[in-house]
Amino acid sequence: MFRLLLCLTAIAALATACSAPSPERALANLPSVSFPAPHRVAAGALQADDLPALQAAGVREVINLRAASETPGFDEASAVQGVGINYRHLPIRGPQDLTRGNVLAFDKLLGDAGDGLTVVHCASSNRVGAMIALRAALVDGASTDAALAEGRRWGLKSLEPQVRERLAAWSAGAGGAAPAASSSR
């Protein structure tokens, strides 16, 4: 009898796991979506009607890089938290916010998210890619080319010239070496 119950429990667990959509399938309709790293999703602007997909995919955290002024009719923080998903906000309005301090704050947010499925988004994923590229260089010590390639995988597009400028300036300021993570904004 015990074996039968154990077997039925295993079958029920397997059926539940098989019926849950993969994150890629559940989140396929998000704007500018990509799946550039394990447990990470890059996306464009989220809307209230995206929340069921986030839940179905098992998203544990949302990191929003949009300024509050970009979403005057949508309280994303309340909506996301209201469905039980952790919410973090680091507004990156444009090139002026591509600073060492913001890159380090962004790195901390990613680290705090751990291995939970995390959606990182802005309006088009361009700022997400910019921050990832800068993080790759500043935190991971990647070369400019490698950092830009990583940023592109996450959505870097029109901010690439500004990211390239930052990386060149940071390298020059560090005597040609990789930028130092301890530098201030």
pLDDT in tens, 86-118: 999 999 999 999 999 999 999 999 999 999 999
Structural class in CATH, domain 20-173: alpha beta
pLDDT in tens, 29-74: 999 999 999 999 999 999 999 999 999 999 999 999 999 999 989 9
Cα–Cα dist 155/83, whole Å: 27
Sequence ranges of the domains in the chain: 20-173
26 backbone dihedrals φ, ψ, rounded to 5°: -65, -35
Q: What is the pTM of this model?
A: 0.83
Tell me the residue type at 126.
N
* Neighbouring residues of 153: CB distance < 8 A, sequence distance ≥ 6: 34, 36, 129, 132
